[in-house]
Amino acid sequence: SQKIEQNSEALNIQEGKTATLTCNYTNYSPAYLQWYRQDPGRGPVFLLLIRENEKEKRKERLKVTFDTTLKQSLFHITASQPADSATYLCALGNNDMRFGAGTRLTVKP
Amino acid sequence: NAGVTQTPKFQVLKTGQSMTLQCAQDMNHEYMSWYRQDPGMGLRLIHYSVGAGITDQGEVPNGYNVSRSTTEDFPLRLLSAAPSQTSVYFCASSDGLAGSYEQYFGPGTRLTVT
């Protein structure tokens, strides 16, 4: 069956460090993979989309990699700040989008 | 633009009652979808629509109905509420195929079934 796994339920890091979140998937051949941020009590907000032919994509302090051989995406936040504390979700699929359970990131000052 | 709006924000139902969760978007998006979010399980797709008059089932469609008579609106109907349907419900829309376009999410409806 198809699965999307985000390895860590929770990740705590110190301000200024780089946070690295992992998304692994099985039984998918996605053309795209997306990352979202969700704050408590709110709907998810889109961050980045990466295509299967793109190895890496950057947006400000965010970087996403996509390895279709390993079936894995890594999401990095460099120079992390307490304001980056949130749950981060990966998602893939076409019309029937599926989401991972998310990783709750806490950045301590 | 208001984006994606959902009503109500909170709802309490008794087992067996029916209700409709409303979702509207003002971005002229063709694709709309409904998700439920439960602790530890992430977002699960209930139903989606690729345009007016077209709907399809997602991962967890049982107990829910949808229709899409206009581009703007995509209501979700609970036919006979059960405690297992206690959840937070999110509506989303996108400009094209969900996988290749960013999805815009509404603020959610928190539903409790007693």
Confidence check: pLDDT of A7 > 80: no
pLDDT in tens, A55-95: 899 999 999 999 999 999 999 999 999 999 999 999 998 77
Which of A95, A98, A99 is the best mutation test for B, with the most CBs of B within 10 A? A95
Contacts of B100 (CB under 8 A, 6+ apart): A31, A32, A49, A94
Say whether A94 and B107 touch across the interface (CB within 8 A). Answer: no
Strand intervals (E) in B1-114:
4-7, 10-13, 19-25, 31-38, 42-51, 54-57, 64-66, 76-78, 87-94, 104-105, 109-113
Among B45, B58, B102, beta carbon nearest to A46: B102
Question: Given an 8 Å threshold on Cβ–Cβ distance, is B31 in contact with A95?
Answer: yes
CB atoms within 10 A of CB A98: 21
Interface contact A96-B45, CB threshold 8 A: yes
Question: Position A78: which residue type?
Answer: T
Q: Which residues pair with A86 in a beta bridge?
A: A105
Q: What's the mean pLDDT in A11-20?
A: 96
Q: Which residues of A touch B40 (CB under 8 A)?
A: 9, 101
Its sign, for the CA torsion B51, B52, B57, B60, is positive
CA B1 to chain centroid, in Å, comes to: 20
Mean pLDDT by 10 residues, chain B (114 residues): 93 97 96 93 92 95 97 97 97 83 94 97
Which among A43, A93, A94 has the least Cβ separation from residue B90? A43
Window 3-62 of B: residues touching A by CB (8 A cutoff) are: 4, 31, 33, 35, 40-45, 48, 50, 56, 58-59
Q: A with B: how many residue pairs have Cβ under 8 Å apart?
A: 71
Q: How confident is the model at residue A31 (pLDDT cuts 50, 70, 90)?
A: confident
